[in-house]
């Protein structure tokens, strides 16, 4: 299995703080059957230069690689980032923020307010051959209130990711949204967004099991195949997605 959204690199963001924290998370990932990981530390273009971020990330990754026991895990790893949305992406060398050796970039959106210029910025990236992956789409209230907004971005060429934690906690508002997006095929991948063993531990395997139980084995297999395609920088065929419609006060 593959995890393409996690905060496991040590000392770079609000995830793992030490190499020991990182190793604990990586062992948990490995125990679940994860053998491919993209490290995606937070990056905000409004707060730090791209060059400085890349230097800090490289140093953190080097420290992790030099940690005793890391190589024994036999993980296939890549560097990436969770990039907070900014229209500065239009003028940046965004390819440097893509998952290593791919054309996919993970982008976090503001939680409560749909950002100005989102469609223009996403279209600009796509026109440059970069595919945006929208991080944890179940969090955004503007998608929950009007899922046609997410539909429009997916139709534009974006990929949508949901967090394993939300899927596992299926009774919550975020969990309901996550499963609904998967059912509608508006979300195409599941990732852990792991931060620590106490705060959002790796639980991707449990999420896949719940998807299989609730929606069927076909959905779980489809999600995993999509993740592999992204990791290998291949395109995957988007299904024909019906635009959500509201009927008797509920989105269907």
Give the model's pLDDT for residue 51.
98
Domain 2-251 indexed as CATH 3.30.1330.200: no
**Residue 239 pLDDT greater than 90, yes or no:** no
- Per residue in 192-234, pLDDT (tens digit) is 999 999 989 999 999 999 999 999 999 999 999 999 999 999 9
CA dist 103 and 16 (Å) reads 26
182/200 Cα distance (integer angstroms): 20
Beta strands at 36-39 and 2-3: parallel, antiparallel or unpaired? parallel
Check pLDDT > 90 for residue 50.
yes
- What is the secondary structure of 38-61 as a DSSP string? EE--EE-TTTS-HHHHHHHHHHHH
Provide the pLDDT for residue 180: 97
Average pLDDT, the chain: 97
Listed residue (21, 187, 160, 27) closest to 7, CA to CA: 21
Task: Determine the Cα–Cα distance for residues 61 and 54; give it in Å rounded to an integer.
Answer: 10
**Strand 76-79 vs strand 104-108: parallel, antiparallel, or unpaired?**
unpaired
Confidence at residue 162, expressed as pLDDT on a 0 to 100 scale: 99
Q: What mean pLDDT do residues 38-55 have?
A: 98
pTM summary value = 0.97
* pLDDT tens readout for residues 126-159: 999 999 999 999 999 999 999 999 999 999 999 9
| pLDDT range class, residue 248, cuts 50, 70, 90 | confident
Picking from 28, 11, 27, the residue whose alpha carbon sits closest to that of residue 19 is: 11
| DSSP string computed for 100-145 | TTSSEEEEE--SSSPPTTHHHHHHHHHHTT-EEEES-GGG-HHHHH
What confidence score (pLDDT) does residue 171 get? 79
- Domain range list for the chain: 2-251
CB-based contact 170:214 (threshold 8 Å): yes
Q: What percent of the chain has pLDDT over 70?
A: 100
Question: Which pLDDT value is given to residue 247?
Answer: 86
| pLDDT(40) > 90 | yes
């Amino acid at each position: 299995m593959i995890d393409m959204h996690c905060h496991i690199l040590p000392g770079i963001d609000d995830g793992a703080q030490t190499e020991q924290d990182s190793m604990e998370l990586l062992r948990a990932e490995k125990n679940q059957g994860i053998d491919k990981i993209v490290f995606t530390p937070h990056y905000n273009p409004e707060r730090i230069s791209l060059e400085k971020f890349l230097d800090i990330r490289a140093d953190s990754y080097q420290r992790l690689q030099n940690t005793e026991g890391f190589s024994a895990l036999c993980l296939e790893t890549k560097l990436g980032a969770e990039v907070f949305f900014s229209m500065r992406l239009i003028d940046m060398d965004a390819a440097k923020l893509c998952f290593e050796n791919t054309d996919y970039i993970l982008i976090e959106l503001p939680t409560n307010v749909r950002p100005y210029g989102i469609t223009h910025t996403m279209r600009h990236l796509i026109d440059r051959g970069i595919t945006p992956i929208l991080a944890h789409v179940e969090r955004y209230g503007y998608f929950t209130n009007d899922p046609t907004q997410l539909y429009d971005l997916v139709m534009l060429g974006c990929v949508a990711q949901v967090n394993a934690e939300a899927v596992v906690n299926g009774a919550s508002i975020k969990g309901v949204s996550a499963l609904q997006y998967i059912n509608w095929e508006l979300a195409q991948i599941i990732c852990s967004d792991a931060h620590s063993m106490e705060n959002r531990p790796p639980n991707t395997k449990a999420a896949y099991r719940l998807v299989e139980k609730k929606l069927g084995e076909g959905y779980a297999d489809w999600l995993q195949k999509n993740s592999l395609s992204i990791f290998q920088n291949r395109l995957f065929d988007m299904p024909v997605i019906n635009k959500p419609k509201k009927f008797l006060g509920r989105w269907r």
